[in-house]
Amino acid sequence: MLILVGRARAIKKYAMTSLTQSIRRFHLYAPPRVISLREVADSLGAERPVSARDVLRRLDAVPGELRLAEPVTTDTALGGRVEMVLRSDGTYTSNGHMRATGFPSFAFVVYPTVDDGGGRFRALAVHQGRVFGTDTPGDRQKNWSEDGRNEDIRQNWLTFARDARLTVRKEWEVSGVLGTLGDIATAVAQFVGAAAVTGSGGTAAALVIGSRLGEAAGEPWPFPQLPVGVTIASGVLLVFGPAAIVPALAAGAVAEALVEHRPLSEEEAAFAAKVFGPTLPSREQIILTNISGLDNRAFVIPGAGGSYLVNLGEHFDDPMALKGRYTQRGQVLIHELTHVWQAKRWPATTYFCQGVFESTYEPGGDASKPWSAYGIEQQATIVDRWYGADPGFLAGEFQKPHPDFTRKAAHPFDHYINAHIRAGIT
Ligand SMILES: [Zn+2]
């Protein structure tokens, strides 16, 4: 159900119905989120005082799809075209081409960027490649078309669709390779950093879509201080994940020199195996860091090269420590490792989208529900609660190298652990 709060008295019933339908048209504000009419009005740029009729009129004028195209021109025998198609349900298509039109060959990188009018939100794509002129055998033209979906587009649609414009930054070189991993990481970091600084509330309202790093993927990570796939710009943490999706997260006052990271230790891996069996990635692929997410939440992100970044924040120094809402030692690590278990099995973009926006942790008491009916935080809470449910067992039997779990007090979540977690079945 969609609930509008605000100047409800001023809204006649018929207006309310069509307003609700109009907002729904953009897949915004998924139920049961409570939104205010003022919030919608502000997104639309409506003036105060807010009238429902005015908001409705403006909503109806908002397109469900943005299709923006620009030619790419250079001062040499190289040109092309980029198009960005963004839709209110969060899906997008980034397509275009570059072509060598004369004698020389080129390496190029283009960064089509869609900005909203107010500088509050932008989406960036990265496309790179080589095109060959008559001097060298090879393809004269490089085409690309990438589809995807990003939750940020859906969430920001009203702001975004109002005044969106496309700009294209481009670089080219007659020889050599452009767009090394370091170049692209730096360019993207600048882009996101700038958005974070100019954005309202200091939150990064930027996303990078369709950025296939291509040939650059095999290069060593150019920021030695940071875990592979992580860079930082203007206090914003960027993670270059699989499929080269680059999520941006505000991570507090992060500074490169303060980031610490290490793989899961042998001891921790042995501990985890007692709960997860053989279903986690190898311990070398599980990288613990002291980075913390919004609201100091620990979070997991699929990283580069098949790694999983477990960002523990304050828990990093002692991941087994008893802290916060957890009642047993090791419970926080079990919770976060459940996210690794999920991330290993879910497509990266799905996982990332759900993880960042999901805030329901409470799984409820109905243990007859199928495992797949729970959100990622609910699943992680099921596993950490199951782990912490029998303190006597934890203090005794569980400490043995191969604990006998039949000695653990029966728990309503037992079947989720056996049939899903330990079996590796989602
Ligand atoms: Zn969690």
Give the pLDDT confidence of 74-120 residue by residue, as tens digits: 999 999 999 999 998 888 888 999 999 999 999 898 888 887 766 66
CA of 237 to the centre of ligand 1 (A): 18
Would you state the pLDDT for residue 377? 86
pLDDT above 50 (res 226): yes
In this predicted structure, what is the pLDDT of residue 214? Answer: 40
Mean pLDDT of 159-183: 78
Query: Lowest-pLDDT range, 235-239, 371-375, 390-394?
Result: 235-239
Residue 14: is its pLDDT beyond 80? Answer: no
Res 365: pLDDT: 86
Cα 309 from Cα 301, distance rounded (Å): 5
Q: Which two tokens stand for residue 314?
A: 């304050």
Cβ proximity of 361 and 381 under 8 Å: yes
Instruction: Compute, in angstroms, the gap from residue 311 CA to the centroid of ligand 1.
Output: 11
Q: What pLDDT score does 252 carry?
A: 47
Burial class of 257 by CB neighbour count within 10 A (0 to 12, 13 to 18, 19+): exposed
Look at residue 335 and tell me whether its pLDDT is greater than 50.
yes
The pLDDT assigned to 11 comes to: 34
User: Which 3 state secondary structure label does DSSP give 412?
Assistant: coil
Residue 189: which pLDDT band, with cuts at 50, 70 and 90?
low
Q: Separation of 299 CA from ligand 1 center, angstroms? A: 6
Using the mean position of ligand 1's atoms as its centre, give its distance from the Cα of residue 107 in Å. Answer: 42
pLDDT at 24 over 60: no
pLDDT at res. 176: 66
**Residue 359 alpha carbon to ligand 1 centre in Å:** 9
Quote the CA–CA distance of 50 and 42 in Å, as a whole number.
Answer: 9
Tokens describing residue 92? 């997008």
Higher pLDDT, 195 or 369: 369
Q: Are 178 and 128 in contact (CB under 8 A)?
A: yes
**pLDDT at 208 (0 to 100):** 54
pLDDT mean over 37-52 = 69
> What is the H or E stretch that residue 189 is in?
helix 181-198
Residues with CB under 5 A from ligand 1 (ion): 377, 380
135 C-alpha vs ligand 1 centroid, how far in Å?
55
State residue 389's pLDDT score.
96
Q: What is the dihedral of CA 192, 193, 195, 199, to 10 degrees?
A: 130
Cα(267) to ligand 1 centroid in Å equals 22
Question: 288 CA to middle of ligand 1, Å?
Answer: 14
- How far is 38 from 49, CA to CA, in rounded Å? 9
Between the CA of 297 and the centroid of ligand 1 the distance, in Å, is: 8
DSSP of 274-323, one letter per residue? HHHTT-SPPGGGEEEE----GGG--EEEE-GGG-EEEE-GGGSS-TT---
Q: From the CA of 270, how far away is ligand 1's center (Å)?
A: 21
Give the pLDDT of residue 339.
Answer: 92
42 vs 193, which has greater pLDDT?
42
Q: Check: CB of residue 274 under 8 Å from CB of residue 398.
A: yes
Of residues 336 and 290, more confidently modeled: 336
Mean pLDDT across 387-411? 96
DSSP 352-374: HHHHHH-------S-TTS-GGGS
Q: What is the pLDDT of residues 322-331, one digit of tens each?
A: 877 789 999 9
175 pLDDT above the threshold of 80: no
Section 264-280 average pLDDT: 97
- The reported pLDDT for the residue numbered 348 is 59
Question: What is each CA distance from 366 to 232, 362, 370, in whole angstroms?
Answer: 42, 11, 10
Whole-number mean pLDDT of the chain?
76
Q: What is the mean pLDDT of residues 286-292?
A: 85
Say what the pLDDT of residue 5 is: 27
Q: How far is CA 122 from CA 192, 207, 311, in A?
A: 9, 7, 26
Q: What are the sequence ranges of the domains in the chain?
A: 3-61, 65-250, 261-421
pLDDT in tens, 124-148: 788 888 899 998 899 999 998 888 7
